[in-house]
Amino acid sequence: MNDDLTTRLRQQLHDQADDWEAAPLTLDSVRGRARSIQRTRRVVTGAAAVAVAAVVVPSVMLLGSDLGADREIPPAGPSPTRVIDTDLPTERADGTVPLEVLDAPAGDATAAGYIVIADNQLRTGEGALDLPAGTQQLRRFGDGWIGLRATTNPENTGYSMFRADADLRVTVEASAMGLVVDLAGQQAAWVEVDGDQWSLAAGTPEAESWRTPVEPNTQPVGFQTDGSVVLQTLDHETGESTFAVADGQRSVPFGEGLLRLEATSEVTDAVSALASYDDPVGTACFTVLDPVGDTTVFDTCDFQPVAFSPDGTLVAGFMAYADAIGSPELAILDAATGEPLVQWSSGRDRNPASVQEVAWEDADTVLATVTEGGQQTVVRGELDGTLEQVAEPTQVNMSVAYWLPGAPANLG
């Protein structure tokens, strides 16, 4: 006799978990993890040893709770740890803080990693991995990797999607255009091209989940909370784009009149898009919307929202109009209102810095590639405005030395 689904579901969940009565965590182990968390949030350069500093995080950033401020952790021994406050950047009258990266202190290595173009390597605090030749996009996927790379095969699209093992050795490859991966590295969606047949596919590290035909020149932009995929399709004849949310069974259009999608949040379903562009003036305006109801969250002509934070409460943004060199500003915005919480700007510097890419390192910390004075580096930016280097500044002039695997894919 078949039982009701949810009754069986409850039973099996309890059967699976309830026999685990272990309590392996101790106060000492939790305190040790707490110290580690504090160390990854703040490092003071020049000190003989890493010091623990108090970090004040706006309460709104902690999932709506009032438990906002970190507590300094005293050691178990009798001598208290000497606390050194970091120097916070001086805020200008307009509320911005200087975008100065060459003088920024060196910070901890980032587990998120960055790509060193000259060496074709992914570098993290644990070491370096050689990339497959031509890698353009790279994301963690299951126990291995998934990515896009350029290919010289004239019979395909010019790009291929590859799967690789933990050491970045390619295991499988297929002609593809566009790839998105969820934050956990457990879902991917990509567009495959076979002759004139375009298909959108989605799957886990273990297996493909679904596949559906799509129009030519369709690219995935990101995931929604229910696993559906946000798509953008370019009509080469008209130069206009259309947008939809697809899940393998149906495709729901949204965003009529928008010009281009910038980013999606797989936690809040929010989508950022270019809404209007005045070419002679160079003015661009953007909108953040919920595609399900096609409702607007906020509009801005000051910033280009390019990457939502992992929990969807924040969005990183560039100056609304940025040229190919980069944006002279980088901001972290409240994703519900568009208000800047921190705004780095070169101001009226004679040799302004420019930001090429930005990605989220964690819920409230960004990584960005920034060029200043002909040198490019990778910096970590915090909500209190502090910047610290995580990669050695490298002379680049008009080229680039680094890119971020977690940065939004270039859909151009």
**Hey, what amino acid is at 153?**
N
CB-nearer residue toward another protein: 128 or 150: 128
Q: Does 334 bind another protein (CB under 8 A)?
A: no
With a CB cutoff of 8 Å and minimum separation 6, the contacts of 285 are 274, 275, 276, 277, 299, 300, 301, 320
Work out how close the CB of 27 gets to another protein at its nearest, in angstroms, rounded to a whole number: 5
Site for another protein in 143-172 (CB under 8 A): 166
Q: What is the DSSP letter of 398?
A: T
Closest CA to 222 of 261, 254, 252: 261
Comparison of 114 and 223: residue with beta carbon closer to another protein: 223
What percent helix, strand, coil does the chain show, rounded to 5? 10, 40, 50
Residues in the chain: 412
Please provide residue 258's backbone torsions phi and psi, each rounded to the nearest 5 degrees.
-70, 160
- Under the binding rule (CB under 8 A), the answer on residue 362 touching another protein is yes
- With respect to another protein, which residue has the nearer C-beta, 83 or 111? 111
Q: Which of residues 101-130 bind another protein (CB under 8 A)?
A: 111-113, 124, 126
DSSP state of 119: T
Tell whether residue 12 is a contact of another protein (CB under 8 A): yes
Residues 216-245 that bind another protein (CB under 8 A): 223, 225-227
323 strand-pairing partners: 326
The correct pick among 105, 185, 216, 253 for binding another protein (CB under 8 A) is 185
**Selection from 246, 239, 309 nearest residue 277 by Cα:** 239
Least Å distance, CB 406 to another protein, is 9
- To the nearest whole angstrom, how small is the minimum distance from the Cβ of residue 202 to another protein? 10
196 part of the interface to another protein, by CB under 8 A:
no
For another protein, the closer CB: 361 or 388: 361
Contact region with another protein (CB under 8 A), list: 182-190, 270-278, 314-322, 324-332:
182-190
Question: Count residues contacting another protein (CB under 8 A)?
Answer: 75
Residues numbered 272 to 311 that lie near another protein (CB under 8 A) are 310-311
Binding residue for another protein, selected from 96, 137, 187, 346, defined by CB under 8 A: 187
Residues 6+ apart with CB under 8 A from 36: none
Report in angstroms the alpha-carbon separations of 323 from 249, 300, 392: 39, 18, 25
Binding positions for another protein, 198-217, rule CB under 8 A:
204, 206-207, 209
Contact between 287 and 273 (Cβ < 8 Å): yes
24 binds another protein (CB under 8 A): yes
Site string for another protein, 37-76 (x = CB under 8 A): xx-----------------------xxxxxxxxxx-x--x
Residue (122 or 193) nearer to another protein, CB: 122
Q: Structure tokens of 38?
A: 């504090």
Contacts of 9 (CB under 8 A, 6+ apart): none
User: Could you tell me the two tokens for 274?
Assistant: 């270019």
- For residue 222, the SS3 value is strand
Residue 273's nearest CA partner among 242, 245, 304 is: 304
Is 14 a binder of another protein (CB under 8 A)?
yes
Q: Binding segment for another protein among 4-12, 100-108, 297-305, 366-374 (CB under 8 A)?
A: 4-12
3-state secondary structure of 10: helix
Q: Between 115 and 396, whose beta carbon lies closer to another protein?
A: 115
Specify which residues 410 forms β-bridges with. Answer: none
